[in-house]
């Protein structure tokens, strides 16, 4: 049985029945339609391995023009799909025209069952081959773009960032495994890519694996690969992520999310620097430079018994801690200016500027989501601003996702300042509504606004 879907198009229902019975013996699915107008909708609905297309659909037509028209429509829709033409009225010129227009073969009615089956098998193999070539070409182009892409550095002039980048430049040329830590949204993947760019492996691929997104049941298959027939739906051998990174850099993001059983499997691979595909006893050596990232405190997890100490030692030759945005001082406004320029160009809104109230609002916010949150905040502000000036009221801070510690961290005055800021933004500057919500008079409200520079 060949794993492929065949689309058969013929206006004669007796012919469709005969072809369905014949082709269903060999192919996993055969779809038969009598009206060619259904072809494109069927192609949109399913992915076919080949099409068997009749040449004539009107009783008084023998020219084959209808078939040639639909052949060209199919080729236009998917140029890699093999089309075999079939007709009771065979002429050399008609066959030549069909082949020129994109058909791969021409079959006459009544057909020979064995020859027709062989033709359709060949058509399916050709479709698979064409699609594989395109897939490989796309992977190659993606890889080239990845390797030749412009570096994106961590933006900032603060002492914390300067010291971090100095350490990155020192560590990158070495083969040392690196653990990158920091809160969500601080730029851990950015640092990983910079380490790869400055390493001796820059000419090779960097493979990124989000371990938090890999289901436990698919862990070995995704990371180690599998052989054909290793499990249900393993129709072909597959290279895993670790093997794909051979010679280059392997970046494990969210490594703190791994369960203890998966940690043990990963540790074995990292110690031996070799893998065994699922369903194979053959050992495949791998040469990778390992980078890992997490927003969790792995030392605390080790103490609590949730992370293996030996795995922590294995991945933590060097640790790089990325500071949160709230500890980076004036880097905040540098990043805001960068995102303002980026999104102004993207949304064709030149000349946008932040006024003083906007800068104060940015400084007051605690940024629990760090640089990622600032990026989204600036993008929304650019989209929503009608004029040339972005004010504090252009921002929509995500108060629902900030933690209690972020909302109530600091002195009483700092907490009160954030409360007034939130209320003013919520009511779009309607001071009567703000005063009503807070249960104070308008005069008290104005005194607080003056006090906190809101």
Question: What CATH number corresponds to the domain at position 384?
Answer: 1.10.8.60
**How many domains does the chain contain in total?**
3
Question: What is the DSSP annotation of 51-111?
Answer: EEEES--STT--S-HHHHHHHHHHHHH-TTSEEEEEESS--HHHHHHHHHTT-SEEEESSP
Centre a 10 Å sphere on the Cβ of residue 204 and count the other Cβ atoms it contains: 19
Claim to verify: residue 125 and residue 245 sit in the same structural domain: no
> Of 323, 338, 359, which residue is a domain's last?
323
Claim to verify: residue 285 and residue 427 sit in the same structural domain: no
Question: Could you report the per-residue pLDDT of 80-122, keeping only the tens digit for each?
Answer: 999 999 988 767 778 888 888 899 998 888 899 999 999 999 9
In a domain, 102, yes or no: yes
Three-state DSSP class for residue 267: helix
pLDDT at 384: 87
In a domain, 215, yes or no: yes
pLDDT at 136: 63
Claim to verify: residue 125 and residue 10 sit in the same structural domain: yes
Rounded CA-CA distance 317/113 in Å is 66
Domain of residue 436, residue span: 326-452
Strands 50-54 and 82-87: parallel
Helix axes of 442-452 and 412-426: crossing angle, nearest 10 degrees? 120
Q: List 278's β-bridge partners, or say none.
A: 226
Claim to verify: residue 123 and residue 80 sit in the same structural domain: yes
Claim to verify: residue 200 and residue 319 sit in the same structural domain: yes
Claim to verify: residue 440 and residue 352 sit in the same structural domain: yes
In a domain, 40, yes or no: yes
Claim to verify: residue 295 and residue 357 sit in the same structural domain: no
Q: Which ranges of the chain have pLDDT less than 70?
A: 59-61, 90, 135-153, 234, 398-411, 428-429, 453-454
Question: What is the DSSP annotation of 413-453?
Answer: HHHHHHHHHHHHHHTTT-HHHHHHHHT--HHHHHHHHHHHT
Residue 156's nearest CA partner among 324, 389, 294 is 324
Claim to verify: residue 97 and residue 189 sit in the same structural domain: no
Specify burial of residue 239 (Cβ count, 10 A radius: 0-12, 13-18, 19+). middle
Claim to verify: residue 347 and residue 424 sit in the same structural domain: yes
In a domain, 148, yes or no: no
User: What length is written for the chain?
Assistant: 454
In a domain, 405, yes or no: yes
Q: Which residues lie closer than 8 Å to 145 by C-beta, 6 or more apart?
A: none
In a domain, 432, yes or no: yes
Claim to verify: residue 252 and residue 335 sit in the same structural domain: no
pLDDT at 404: 40
């Amino acid at each position: 049985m060949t794993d492929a879907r065949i689309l058969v198009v013929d206006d004669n229902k007796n012919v469709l029945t005969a072809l369905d019975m014949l082709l269903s013996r060999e192919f996993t699915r055969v779809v038969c339609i009598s009206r060619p107008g259904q072809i494109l909708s069927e192609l949109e609905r399913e992915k076919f391995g080949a099409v068997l297309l009749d040449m004539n659909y009107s009783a008084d037509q023998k020219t084959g023009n209808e078939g040639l028209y639909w052949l060209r429509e199919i080729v236009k829709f998917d140029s890699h799909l093999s089309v075999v033409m079939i007709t009771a009225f065979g002429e050399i010129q008609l066959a030549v025209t069909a082949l020129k227009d994109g058909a791969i073969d021409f079959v006459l009615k009544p057909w020979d069952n064995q020859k027709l089956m062989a033709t359709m098998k060949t058509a399916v193999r050709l479709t698979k081959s064409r699609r594989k070539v395109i897939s490989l070409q796309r992977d190659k182009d993606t890889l080239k773009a990845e390797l030749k892409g412009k570096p994106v550095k961590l933006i900032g002039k603060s002492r914390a960032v300067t010291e971090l980048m100095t350490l990155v430049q020192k560590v990158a040329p070495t083969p040392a495994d690196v653990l990158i830590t920091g809160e969500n949204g601080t730029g851990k993947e950015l640092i990983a890519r910079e380490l790869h760019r400055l390493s001796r492996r820059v000419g090779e691929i960097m493979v990124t694996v989000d371990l938090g997104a890999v289901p436990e049941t698919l862990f070995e298959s995704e990371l180690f690969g599998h052989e054909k027939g290793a499990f249900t739906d393993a129709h072909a051998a597959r290279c895993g992520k670790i093997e794909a990174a051979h010679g280059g850099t392997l970046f494990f993001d969210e490594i703190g999310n791994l369960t203890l059983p998966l940690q043990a499997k990963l540790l074995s691979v990292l110690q031996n620097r070799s893998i065994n595909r699922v369903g194979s006893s053959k050992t495949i050596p791998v040469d990778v430079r390992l980078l890992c990232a997490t927003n969790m405190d792995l030392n605390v997890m080790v103490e609590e018994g949730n992370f293996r100490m030996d795995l922590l030692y294995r991945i933590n030759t060097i640790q790089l801690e990325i500071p949160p945005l709230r500890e980076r001082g004036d880097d905040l406004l540098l990043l805001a200016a960068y995102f303002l320029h980026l999104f102004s160009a993207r949304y064709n809104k030149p000349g946008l500027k932040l006024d003083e109230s906007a800068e104060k609002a940015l400084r007051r916010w605690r940024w629990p989501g760090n640089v990622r949150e600032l990026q989204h905040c600036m993008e929304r502000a650019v989209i929503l601003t009608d004029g040339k000036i972005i004010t504090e009221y252009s921002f929509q801070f995500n108060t629902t996702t900030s933690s209690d510690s972020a909302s109530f961290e600091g002195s009483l005055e700092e907490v009160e300042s954030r409360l007034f800021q939130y209320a003013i933004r919520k009511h779009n500057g309607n001071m009567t509504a703000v005063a009503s919500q807070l249960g104070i008079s308008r005069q008290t409200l104005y005194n607080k606004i003056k006090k906190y520079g809101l």
